[in-house]
Amino acid sequence: MESRNNFNRIDAIRKVLGFPMVVTVKPIGTGGGLSLLWNQSLNVEILEKQQSFLEAIVKDGSGFHCWRVFFVHAPAEGYSERKVLWQILKEKVSKVRQNCILLGDFNAITSNDEKWGGPNKSSWELRDFRDFISESQLIDMGYIGYPFTWNNKRHGGCNVRERLDRALINSSWRIK
């Protein structure tokens, strides 16, 4: 999801992997950026491209199954920028009447149980993301296996790991 690469690099990767379709959001500096690659078995209509998310309608080859997808890469720095993103996504999700999934790097945790090492996050740092999930009536799909998707790659007691990547679904998706 976070490509950190310009379109030319992503297009070269797309060709090597054999995906005929691609859409990207340009990174800022050495971070961010989004890339989505897919094949012709899916019909993907990009509805919106922002620095922190791609919104799309995806249909399978039969056209029978259709869902709304938000591919997310929330800002790593900038608590207030993430709070604005949660508000934008909450408004968009509230209007979706079909199966809906938000997936990617949210750069936020819901509790200190999703963190290992370093000081605990304060309750105000956790609240906005939890409120976004709750108020949007989203369900965390959970995970299987190793819980941490980010690691600061420091050694010993300085090492911090967090579960920043996740998939959130609406009740319609869950029922389906």
Q: In the chain, what are the domain boundaries? A: 1-40, 41-175
**What is the predicted pLDDT for the residue at 2?**
55
Helix, coil or strand: residue 31: strand
Q: Decide the pairing of beta strands 99-105 and 66-73.
A: parallel
CATH number assigned to the domain covering 41-175 = 3.60.10.10
| Rounded-to-integer distance, Cα 130 and Cα 122, Å | 13
The percent of the chain in helix, strand and coil, each rounded to the nearest 5, is: 30, 30, 40
* Terminal Cα-to-Cα distance of the chain (whole angstroms): 25
Per-residue model confidence as pLDDT tens digits over 90-135: 999 999 989 999 999 999 999 999 999 999 999 988 999 999 999 9
Among residues 56, 85, 84, 49, the alpha carbon closest in space to that of 70 is found at 56
pTM: 0.91
CA separation for the pair 147, 85 (Å, rounded): 24
How large a percentage of the chain has pLDDT more than 70?
95
Identify the DSSP state of 122.
P
What pairing do the DSSP bridges indicate for beta strands 53-60 and 42-49?
antiparallel
Average pLDDT of the chain is 90
